[in-house]
Amino acid sequence: MLKRITQLAALAVAIVSTTNALAADLPRKAPVYAPPPPPPLTWTGCYLGANVGGAFGNASVTGNGGSGGEVSTNGSGFAGGGQIGCDYQFAGPWVIGFRNMFDGTSNKRSGTIPGVGPLAGDVVNFNNQWFDTLTGRIGYALQPAWLLYFQGGGAWAHTSTNITAAGVQIGQTSKTSSGWTIGGGVEWMFAPHWSAFLEGNYMDFGTRNGTILNAAVGCAAGCAFSAKATETTVLVGVNYRFW
C-alpha cells in the first residue's frame, strides 16, 4: 500500500513539472500600453500672432479765438497687424501678462467747420494711419481653455488733420500722438500652442494744437485751432504660444 502511494505521488509531481514546463514555453501576452496623461493646460508662456478687424474713430477740430466753431465727425475703416506678449498663470485660474500690438488702419473722415469766423465753412480731413499699444492685462480662466481678460496701458498713433479752403490746404497737423487705451476680451486655446481671441479697445490720443497763417482766408495774424482724436477697435486674432 505504501509503495502504491509513493508511485502516485511521484506521478503527480511529474505531471505538475511537465505542465509548468509547457506553460513556460507558451508566448506571453504583452502588457497593454497606457500613454501618459497630457500635461494640464496653462496660459504661462509667450506668444506671437496676427489680428484683423474694424477701427471706428471720432475726431473734432475747434477754431480758437473766434476762428470758427467746432466740427466733430465719426468714421470707420479697416485695422490689421500683429502682436507679441507673455502671460503667467498663478493662484489657480488667475493670469497676468503684457502685450504690444501694432496695427495699420484706413480710418478716414471729414467735416465742415460751422459757425462764424475765418475758418467757418472750411473742410477738415482726418486720417489715422496706424496705432501701437503697450498694455498690461489680467485675466481669469473660466475653464482651462477659456480666458476672460481686461487690459490697459499706453497708446500711440500717427494722425493727421488737414484743413482746406476752396480745395486748397491752408493748415495741417501731422505727427505721432500719445495717449492711453483700455479694453478687454476673451481668448480660447483651441489646440496645443494655438489660441484665438475676440476683443474691443478704446484709445484716446489727446489734443493737438495748430496755427494757420494765411492772409487770403483772414488769418494774417494767425488762426489757432485744436484737434482731438479717439479710436475704438473690434479685433479678432490668433496667437501661437511657446511654453
Q: Calculate the average pLDDT of the chain.
A: 87
- Is residue 34 over pLDDT 80? no
Residue 51 or residue 12, greater confidence: 51
CA-wise closest residue to 113 among 165, 172, 58: 165
CA-wise closest residue to 175 among 133, 206, 221, 213: 206
At 111, list the grid cell.
467735416
- Is residue 230 over pLDDT 90? yes
**What confidence tens digit (pLDDT) does each residue in 54-78 have?**
999 998 988 887 788 889 889 899 9
Residue 225 or residue 187, greater confidence: 187
- Looking at residue 66, its pLDDT comes to 76
- Is residue 26 over pLDDT 80? no
CA-wise closest residue to 84 among 36, 49, 112: 49
Residue 216 or residue 90, greater confidence: 90
- Find the mean pLDDT for residues 175-185: 94
- Looking at residue 213, its pLDDT comes to 86
pLDDT band at 196 (very low <50, low <70, confident <90, very high): very high
At 103, list the grid cell.
496695427
Domain spanning 45-242: which CATH class is it, in words?
mainly beta
- Looking at residue 5, its pLDDT comes to 58
- Looking at residue 39, its pLDDT comes to 67
**If you search the block for the grid coordinates 500690438, which residue do you land on?**
101
Domain boundaries, the chain: 45-242
| Upper half-sphere CA count for residue 111 (Cβ side, 13 Å) | 18
Around Cβ 136, how many Cβ atoms within 10 Å? 14
- Find the mean pLDDT for residues 14-39: 61
- Looking at residue 198, its pLDDT comes to 98
- Find the mean pLDDT for residues 232-241: 98
pLDDT band at 19 (very low <50, low <70, confident <90, very high): low
- Looking at residue 6, its pLDDT comes to 60
pLDDT band at 167 (very low <50, low <70, confident <90, very high): confident
At 163, list the grid cell.
484743413
- Give the integer Cα–Cα distance in Å for 171 and 208: 13
- Looking at residue 41, its pLDDT comes to 83
Beta bridge partners, 85, equal 47, 99
Vertex 189: Cα angle to 142 and 144 (nearest 5): 35
